[in-house]
């Protein structure tokens, strides 16, 4: 490997000190855990589709109206001339292409990791709490795009989705607590409490959880009631999980995308 990988991330108002997106954090953690050289290019929300098309990656999903859905993270690896979107595809590409680095989806865990992705997200009632606050972290163009698309999705203003102090918000937050409690039971399913999903080695499932924790820490803030709750759940295991990933949370200055 001679040239750094280009890693496309979504900026916050305070980039690079605050990278916030749980989806792009999955890839950033993967790159950092593997110790692969990379350079961040910050792409504002309204530019994501054009950027993905420009680098030649594929859409990651299909919109309800049948049009392609483009999303970050994406990478361009100049060493292999590969453009790729979707964090789950990217981690497998990195495992395969750089076999001397820490493998995050070990042999025979591909399908179970894919099932994990559905399992953890099906329980997590976080979005309706955190999305309305995430908008305040974004630079103006991205904030406007984010607000328009998310308000169309929810069918109400972001401020109406789960207002602080509302019963709805309390119910959703109890759901997040319960989801993490369930993750803790998964980690003890073998009869002993495992440190990571694969035992003693960090894997992609752990990266996924760490990315959700990072989203909460950045959006709610370390002094928030929410983050304090998180750090007490399940005997402090999520605080320890975040701490382990503290070694892998470096964010480079990077540069703004040219579209």
Footprint of a copy of itself on this chain (CB under 8 A)?
88, 92, 96, 105-120, 122-123, 182, 185-187, 189-191, 194, 197-199, 205
DSSP string over 163-212: -TT-HHHHHHHHHHHHHHHHHHHHTTTTSS--SBTTBSS--HHHHHHHHH
Backbone angles phi, psi at 97, to 5 degrees: -80, -30
Nearer to a copy of itself, 53 or 194 (CB): 194
Nearer to a copy of itself, 112 or 239 (CB): 112
Please state the closest distance from residue 109 (CB atom) to a copy of itself, in A.
Answer: 6
Please state the closest distance from residue 238 (CB atom) to a copy of itself, in A.
Answer: 15
Nearer to a copy of itself, 88 or 128 (CB): 88
Nearer to a copy of itself, 96 or 156 (CB): 96
Please state the closest distance from residue 180 (CB atom) to a copy of itself, in A.
Answer: 13
Determine the Cα–Cα distance for residues 101 and 92; give it in Å rounded to an integer. 12
Please state the closest distance from residue 35 (CB atom) to a copy of itself, in A.
Answer: 22
Strands 82-85 and 38-42: unpaired
Cβ neighbours, 10 Å, residue 178: 14
Nearer to a copy of itself, 160 or 193 (CB): 193
DSSP string over 2-24: -SPEEEEE---TTTTT----HHH
DSSP class of residue 104?
S
Please state the closest distance from residue 116 (CB atom) to a copy of itself, in A.
Answer: 4
CB 215 within 8 A of CB 20: yes
């Amino acid at each position: 490997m001679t040239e750094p990988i280009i890693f496309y991330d979504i900026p916050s108002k305070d980039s690079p000190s605050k990278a916030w997106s749980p989806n792009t954090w999955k890839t950033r953690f993967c790159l950092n855990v593997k110790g692969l050289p990379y350079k961040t290019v910050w792409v504002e929300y309204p530019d994501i589709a054009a950027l993905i098309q420009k680098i030649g990656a594929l859409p990651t999903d299909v919109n309800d109206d049948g049009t392609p859905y483009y999303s970050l993270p994406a990478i361009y690896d100049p060493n292999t001339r590969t453009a790729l979107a979707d964090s789950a595809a990217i981690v497998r590409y990195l495992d395969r292409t750089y076999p001397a680095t820490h493998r995050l989806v070990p042999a025979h865990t591909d399908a179970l990791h894919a099932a994990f992705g559905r399992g953890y997200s099906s329980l997590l009632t976080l979005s309706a709490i955190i999305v309305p606050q995430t908008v305040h972290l974004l630079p103006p163009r991205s904030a406007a795009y984010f607000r328009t698309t998310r308000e169309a999705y929810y069918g109400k203003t972001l401020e109406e989705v789960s207002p602080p102090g509302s019963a709805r918000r309390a119910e959703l937050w109890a759901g997040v607590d319960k989801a993490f409690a369930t993750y803790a039971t998964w980690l003890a399913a073998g009869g002993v409490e495992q440190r990571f999903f694969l035992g003693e080695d960090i894997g992609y499932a752990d990266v996924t959880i760490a990315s959700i924790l990072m989203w909460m820490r950045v959006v709610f803030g370390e002094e928030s009631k929410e983050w304090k709750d998180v750090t007490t759940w399940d005997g402090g295991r999520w605080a320890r999980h975040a701490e382990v990933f503290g070694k892998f949370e470096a964010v480079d200055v990077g540069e703004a995308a040219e579209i």
